[in-house]
Amino acid sequence: MTRTMTYEEKIVRSEQIVRESYLKASDISQLVEVRDARTTDEDFLRIYKRTYIPKEWFVREDFYSDLVFRELGSGIALGEKKFFIGEILRQSKIKRETCSDVNFTSLVEKSRSLFETGANPTVLFAPIEYYIKFHLEWYKDPSSRIESPDSVIISGHRYKICWSNKYMPFNEFIFVDRRFGEWVYKPSFSERLYVKISESDKIDQLDLLVYTTVKLGILDPSKIAIIQTS
């Protein structure tokens, strides 16, 4: 006979679901080098979600709220990536070029030029509008090999592809060498997500707070290249 979890155990389990979902979805360490915060670090940003949740979720046996908590964790991971892209696009020191007709040759040439400068880009952000071209037209190019929807080899170099979407819109192709900077977690990488479900000021609601505290330092803009579509 399966033992029924207590109210407190359900809360602990739900907090853990948020953490696990976040850890599964977060890929910042693949995009940029990561380190723990130092006492001298300043100007952090808190990416967070705070909301009321019904107390009855943890009282009744006929409620299944796991999906909600999974979405909260993955939502924080998405917030990290949105912040990452936003910080890159607002940097005037990063070289950009505008191309009215981006084709696969444009990407090959940009990739080669980066490697010639000593950069080692491994990530390519791409507008979702080019997804069909990528997989139905550009894959025919002998210098490319589509390995999966989020992995491509361009001129012998493998890239992780991050596609734009309605939650993370952008119109640029962005080549990233993860050595361009550092992503700092406060207080540390191992303790980077705070999750707490607690009593609230409403008798029938609990308070849910989830956040991560971060900063992105761009140390070498030459290791990033941006192609602006028009």
pLDDT in tens, 121-173: 999 999 999 999 888 888 777 777 888 888 988 888 999 999 999 999 999 99
Q: What percent of the chain is modeled with pLDDT above 90?
A: 79
Domain of 142?
A: 96-178
pLDDT in tens, 64-99: 899 999 999 999 999 999 999 999 999 999 989 998
- The answer, as to whether pTM is greater than 0.85, is yes
- Contacts of residue 33, defined as CB under 8 A and 6 or more positions apart, other chains included, come to 178, 179, 181, 182, 183
Would residue 229 count as lying in a domain?
no
Mean pLDDT of the chain: 93
Q: What percent of the chain is modeled with pLDDT above 70?
A: 99
Q: How many CA atoms lie within 13 A of 81 on its CB side?
A: 23
CATH number for the domain including 42? 3.30.2400.20
Q: Are residues 14 and 64 in the same domain?
A: yes
Cβ neighbour number for residue 115 with a 10 Å cutoff: 14
pLDDT of res. 88? 97
Q: Are residues 12 and 58 in the same domain?
A: yes
Q: Are residues 105 and 146 in the same domain?
A: yes
